[in-house]
Amino acid sequence: MSKGIILCVDDDSTVLNALRTLIGKIFGNDHLVEIAESASEALEIIEDHHKRGLQLSVVISDYIMPWMRGDELLIKLHEMYPAAIKIMLTGQSDLEGVKKAINDANLYRFIEKPFNNADLILTIRSALRAFHHEAQLNAEIDALKLQLEQKDGELAQLRGTATA
């Protein structure tokens, strides 16, 4: 299995460094941990990695950021990479963005700041399991579709032979 990407987005460099250290220590052997200080930087990073064949597995985004809020970023990423698991961090009590992300970006989990390290790690671990489980199911569905198409082709040949 190729390395997936865990992307952390926050305009606070202290939070980003803490996330990179914590997540890198636990998941860094199996996943590429990337950080971005803005939504635009996050989109650039993901686009670059996508061109190299790396897949976005999990994105953890702050809600309040300049240029583009976290809910908007998660919605955009969901449109581009619907299988990626989306997690939102926020210190704000306004839940409108969380509701928007739940409805429009398939938000996996919302975590309030300051976050608990153990809770965040458990959430990421669970998110990665969900991501890989869905990928496995999709691969099995694709294989079954291919088998059905092959059987359909065989049936069509048999029908053509029977009428000839």
Residue 149 lies in a domain: no
Within a domain: 122: yes
pLDDT tens digits, one per residue of 88-130: 998 875 677 788 888 899 999 999 999 999 999 999 999 999 9
Domain that holds residue 116: 4-137
pLDDT of the residue at 139 = 77
Which is it for the CA torsion 74, 114, 18, 29, positive or negative? negative
Compute the mean pLDDT over every residue in the chain, rounded to the nearest whole number: 91
pLDDT, average across residues 69-79: 96
- Return the pLDDT at 1: 46
| Structure tokens belonging to residue 85 | 């698991």
**What is the pLDDT at residue 132?**
87
pTM for this model (two decimals): 0.83
Whole-number pLDDT of residue 93: 59
Q: Is 62 inside any structural domain? A: yes
Asked whether residue 151 is domain-assigned, the answer is no
Counting DSSP H helices and E strands in the chain, the numbers are: 5, 5
Structure tokens at 124: 């990421």
CATH number, position 44: 3.40.50.2300
Q: Determine, yes or no, domain membership for 18.
A: yes
How would residue 144 be classed by pLDDT, with cut points 50, 70 and 90?
Answer: confident
Contacts of 5 (CB under 8 A, 6+ apart): 31, 32, 33, 34, 46, 49, 54, 55, 56, 57, 58
Tell me the pLDDT tens digit for each residue of 19-52.
999 999 999 999 999 999 999 999 999 999 999 9
Structural domains of the chain, count: 1
The highest-confidence range among 50-54, 58-62, 147-151, by mean pLDDT, is: 58-62
